[in-house]
Amino acid sequence: MIIAPKTRGFICTTAHPDGCAANVQEQIDYVKSQPPLANPPKKVLVIGASTGYGLASRIVPAFGGGASTIGVFFEKPGTERKTASAGYYNSVAFEKAAAAEGLYAKSFNGDAFSEEMKATVLDTIREDLGQVDCIVYSLASPRRTDPTDGETYKSVLKPIGAPYSQKNLNTDTGEVGDVSIEPCTEEEIAHTVKVMGGEDWILWIDALSEAGLLADGFTTVAYSYIGPELTFPIYTNGTIGKAKEHLEQTAAQMNEKYGDTTAYVSVNKALVTQASSAIPVVPLYISLLYRVMKEANLHEGCIEQIERLFSDHLSSDSGPSLDEKGRIRIDDWEMRDDIQAAVAEAWEKVTTDNLSEISDYSGYKNEFLKLFGFGLQGVDYEAETDPERPLPSEQ
């Protein structure tokens, strides 16, 4: 079939296998252009490994440190008539590239929250790797079925206590308007924490520990975001912020249990991913931020961010540098005073009419399409393309 993008709001329902492979290869090439990691982990489990920050977290230790990797994700395989989801094609491409370099890579497509998935992954670690020494937890999910009570919880992106109104970008039409979001209920806070907090993270670590599959001195990291004051009501002080607070409490709990250099929360930069495009207000902020950071020569994507996370923190000789709350901050360049001041000034001015002039809206749209394998150099988008690309490790 000829595969073209079909976008609806913040979703693209098609993906291009060769474009996704080119996108993965670009990230691998970037990692290989950097010095090898000083003290890389050797056996890495990445939960949420198929797109965005998790995919980058699989590529960096593999291609920057020769690590064996196991990836867990929730994606759709392709059929004769329907393309796979982008994360599926990304993982096929990752496995092929890893195999070409003699690197171990296995992937598991299914629900990371389930006991079945944990058991399958634990069995594979036991049989193939013996132990793991680094676990990256990079899930972004709208729902979670808790295996202990069978109940399905949904996460929401809402402010707490008062309505929130702010400028917003309609990414379908390119119009800058206003959005107003009503505050959440107490139950919605609890449910968002259930899905996006640290409960499942520690379930994974405890299960690995009980099975004797954690190497001495293992580390684990999960990702958070803080961002500017203008998004505080919908992010940091909103329902998702409560879940991120819980993630930090969970890291502290794990450090008490497993030793104080075990669990880290890394605060990352706002970037175009499938998860972030769904958050109100954030796409407009990202469009303005990209413009300012590109002009300052400070722009990074997921792969540059995660390469820095490993080289400057997790795998550096001196270990991670932490802020006053014990977090790794690779959002440091985004949060620089000069960057934030320039974004705040542009935020005040931005309208539909000047959007293209003062923001990097075209960069935003290109990055969004690239997530699904569209717009990459060297890919023939007019060619007949087979959408069925099985994962090598599933065959």
Beta carbon nearer to ligand NAI, 219 or 268: 268
Residues 329-358 that bind ligand NAI (CB under 6 A): none
Choices 9-17, 92-100, 109-117, 362-370 (CB under 6 A): range interacting with ligand NAI: 109-117
Q: Applying CB under 6 A, what is the total number of residues that bind ligand NAI? A: 29
Instruction: Establish if 74 lies at the interface with ligand NAI (CB under 6 A).
Output: yes
Residues 33-52 that bind ligand NAI (CB under 6 A): 48-52
Residues 6+ apart with CB under 8 A from 212: 131
Beta carbon nearer to ligand NAI, 215 or 237: 237
Beta carbon nearer to ligand NAI, 266 or 317: 266
Q: How far is the CB of 87 from ligand NAI (least distance, A)?
A: 5
Per CB under 6 A, the list member of 19, 87, 228, 283 interacting with ligand NAI is 87
DSSP string computed for 100-160: HTT--EEEEES-TTSHHHHHHHHHHIIIIIS-EEEEEE----SEEE-TTT--EEE-----S
Q: Residue 360: phi, psi to the nearest 5? A: -105, 50
Instruction: Establish if 241 lies at the interface with ligand NAI (CB under 6 A).
Output: no
Q: Residue 74: phi, psi to the nearest 5? A: -125, 100
User: What's CA 268's distance to the chain center, in Å?
Assistant: 9
DSSP state of 376: -
Beta carbon nearer to ligand NAI, 157 or 380: 157
Alpha-carbon gap, residue 67 to 98, rounded angstroms: 10
Alpha-carbon gap, residue 221 to 263, rounded angstroms: 6
| Cross-strand bridge partners of residue 46 | 71, 136
Give residue for tokens 């175009």. 272
Per CB under 6 A, the list member of 15, 67, 75, 125 interacting with ligand NAI is 75
Choices 15-23, 67-75, 211-219, 317-325 (CB under 6 A): range interacting with ligand NAI: 67-75
Per CB under 6 A, the list member of 164, 201, 204, 223 interacting with ligand NAI is 223
Per CB under 6 A, the list member of 34, 131, 141, 253 interacting with ligand NAI is 141
Beta carbon nearer to ligand NAI, 216 or 282: 282
Q: How far is the CB of 165 from ligand NAI (least distance, A)?
A: 22
Beta carbon nearer to ligand NAI, 1 or 119: 119
Q: How far is the CB of 270 from ligand NAI (least distance, A)?
A: 4
Alpha-carbon gap, residue 69 to 58, rounded angstroms: 7
User: What's CA 43's distance to the chain center, in Å?
Assistant: 20
The answer to whether 168 touches 281, Cβ cutoff 8 Å, is: yes
Known catalytic residues?
235
Q: How far is the CB of 81 from ligand NAI (least distance, A)?
A: 22
DSSP string computed for 134-150: EEEE----SEEE-TTT-
Give the per-residue contact string, 259-298, with ligand NAI (x = CB under 6 A; - = no): ---------x-xx-xxxx----------------------
Choices 30-38, 136-144, 146-154, 257-265 (CB under 6 A): range interacting with ligand NAI: 136-144
Q: Which of 316, 362, 328 is nearest to 40 (CA)?
A: 316
Choices 107-115, 127-135, 169-177, 352-360 (CB under 6 A): range interacting with ligand NAI: 107-115
Choices 110-118, 153-161, 180-188, 293-301 (CB under 6 A): range interacting with ligand NAI: 110-118
Per CB under 6 A, the list member of 15, 44, 53, 387 interacting with ligand NAI is 53
The answer to whether 273 touches 371, Cβ cutoff 8 Å, is: yes
Residues 6+ apart with CB under 8 A from 240: 155, 157, 192, 196, 234, 279
Instruction: Establish if 360 lies at the interface with ligand NAI (CB under 6 A).
Output: no
* Residue of minimal Cβ distance to ligand NAI: 52
DSSP string computed for 291-349: HHHHHTT----HHHHHHHIIIIIITSTT-----TTS-EETTTTTT-HHHHHHHHHHHHH
Interface residue list for ligand NAI (CB under 6 A)? 48-54, 72-75, 87, 111-113, 138-141, 223-225, 268, 270-271, 273-276
